[in-house]
């Protein structure tokens, strides 16, 4: 099951944004299975590393024991886009099923940013940005008017048609070329479509079709129907929509686990949950970064203070019997057992109160750090640390600043991984076909 999941994540005809870069035979759009795992190789796509796994090292999500408690694994990935919308989801659990269509990354980012600017935006308002599903196989969604209800309730049916083009051949011949197929047709249903067309020819419902060939390749889908001279192209196209899977239905049921329980979500609900998650991730990330910068500040200020009294510190080190004694003197001013050159030095040492972290850094400091240029670098680092601390505190304390960070991240993701929309969204009437009377 793990390998099957990996295979699906590598198939660009199933996922709008494949998450795995597969090398070898990973199956085909016509339903061919992938090669056994010993014959294939896989690595993560760049988007997976940058958008799905980034900041895992910053304690942004909880880690839990894995199935046999030998390792820790993240309870959830710190994904920076709503993957539920981007790649969709389909699956069956105990008494429940989910079916969420994939969407376009650019449109999702624009909708999320619109919600951030106005939390009261309606689903209709969000649909100015998310026009509808964007299937990796393209096709045409023909019931645009139904999408609003689907996105409000989280359930409904999307009608999708394949894209048909007419090509002219020699001697007035015409060819119907299917260049995009409905998303539910991928797999064995392509073979079924070819058989259905052959059945229509045999039953004399489509006598104008002379030949059918599947010329699809890695470059894309291309199913060619050769027609008799003077054939009624519109009638045949409508016949295919009516009698075959060239027009199909995608049942939407946007069921997801929200706050630990299954819930049917509308478009706005998904974005709300996603942004709550993003604010939580960003808070944890910048708390971790702030803690690191405060630690650096503490050490830097300790070293800066130490360089001003370096002679006294060297005297403490030379007069101490062991490192523990020297460290205690630096932290608490305990001078007992340490040999000093003068009472003044002993008095000055008794006033020291470095923190444990500062004392450790001082004891580990190398003498070349006392060179002028090294001191300048320390001062510059300290200034940069103070700026970072101010910036991180502003992000953590100011909701608008955090929103700007999240918005900037989304813009960068959109700029880097944008893909043009493949599926057209239209309002088209039902295919009308009248059978010819013998």
Distance (Å, whole) CA 431 – CA 247: 9
Distance (Å, whole) CA 369 – CA 134: 58
CB 207 within 8 A of CB 235: no
Distance (Å, whole) CA 135 – CA 221: 14
CB 157 within 8 A of CB 250: yes
Distance (Å, whole) CA 169 – CA 176: 11
State the DSSP H helix or E strand holding residue 153, giving kind and residue range, or none if neither.
helix 147-153
Distance (Å, whole) CA 183 – CA 185: 5
- For residue 25, how many other CB atoms are within 10 A of its CB? 14
Q: Is 39 annotated in the active site? A: yes
Distances in Å between the alpha carbon of 199 and those of 62, 195, 275, 318, 326? 56, 6, 51, 98, 93
Q: Hey, is 99 helix, strand or coil? A: strand
Of the candidates 39, 115, 392, 417, the residue annotated as catalytic is: 39
Question: In this structure, what token pair is assigned to residue 301?
Answer: 């200020």
CB 13 within 8 A of CB 186: yes
CB 353 within 8 A of CB 309: no
Catalogue the active-site residues: 39
């Amino acid at each position: 099951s793990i390998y099957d999941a990996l295979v699906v994540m590598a198939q660009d005809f199933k996922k709008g944004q494949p998450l795995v870069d597969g090398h070898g035979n990973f199956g085909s759009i016509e339903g061919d299975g992938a090669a056994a795992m010993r014959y294939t190789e896989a690595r993560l796509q760049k988007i997976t590393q940058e958008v799905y796994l980034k900041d895992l090292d910053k304690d942004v999500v909880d880690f839990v024991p894995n199935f046999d408690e030998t390792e820790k694994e993240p309870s959830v990935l710190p994904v920076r886009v709503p993957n539920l919308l981007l790649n969709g989801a389909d699956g069956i659990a105990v008494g429940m099923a989910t079916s969420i269509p994939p969407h376009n990354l650019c449109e999702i980012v624009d909708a999320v940013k619109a919600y951030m600017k106005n939390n009261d935006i309606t689903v209709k308002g969000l649909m100015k940005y998310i026009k509808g599903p964007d299937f990796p196989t393209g096709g045409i969604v023909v019931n645009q008017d139904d999408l609003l209800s689907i996105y409000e309730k989280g359930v409904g049916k999307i009608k999708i048609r394949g894209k048909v083009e007419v090509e002219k051949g020699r001697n007035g011949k015409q060819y119907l070329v299917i260049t995009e197929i409905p998303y539910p047709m991928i797999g064995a249903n392509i073979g079924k479509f070819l058989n259905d067309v052959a059945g229509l020819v045999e039953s004399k419902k489509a006598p104008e079709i002379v030949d059918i060939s599947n010329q699809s390749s890695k470059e894309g889908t291309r199913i060619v129907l050769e027609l008799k001279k003077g054939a009624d192209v519109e009638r045949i196209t409508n016949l295919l929509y009516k009698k075959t899977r060239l027009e199909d239905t995608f049942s939407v049921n946007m069921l997801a686990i929200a706050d630990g329980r299954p819930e049917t979500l509308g478009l706005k609900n998904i974005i709300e949950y996603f942004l709550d998650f993003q604010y939580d991730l960003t808070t944890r990330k910048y708390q971790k970064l702030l803690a690191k910068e405060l630690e650096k500040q503490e050490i830097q200020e300790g070293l800066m203070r130490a360089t001003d009294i370096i002679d006294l510190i060297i005297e403490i080190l030379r007069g101490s019997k062991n490192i523990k004694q020297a460290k205690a003197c630096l932290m608490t001013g305990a001078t007992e057992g340490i040999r000093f050159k003068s009472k003044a030095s002993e008095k000055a040492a008794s006033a020291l109160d470095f923190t444990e972290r500062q004392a450790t850094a001082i004891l580990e400091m190398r003498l070349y750090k006392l060179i002028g240029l090294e001191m300048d670098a320390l001062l510059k680092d300290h200034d940069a640390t103070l700026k970072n601390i101010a910036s991180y505190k502003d992000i953590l304390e100011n909701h608008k600043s955090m929103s700007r960070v999240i918005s900037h991240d989304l813009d960068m993701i959109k700029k880097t991984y944008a893909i043009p929309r493949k599926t057209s969204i239209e309002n088209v009437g039902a295919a009308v076909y009248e059978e010819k009377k013998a």
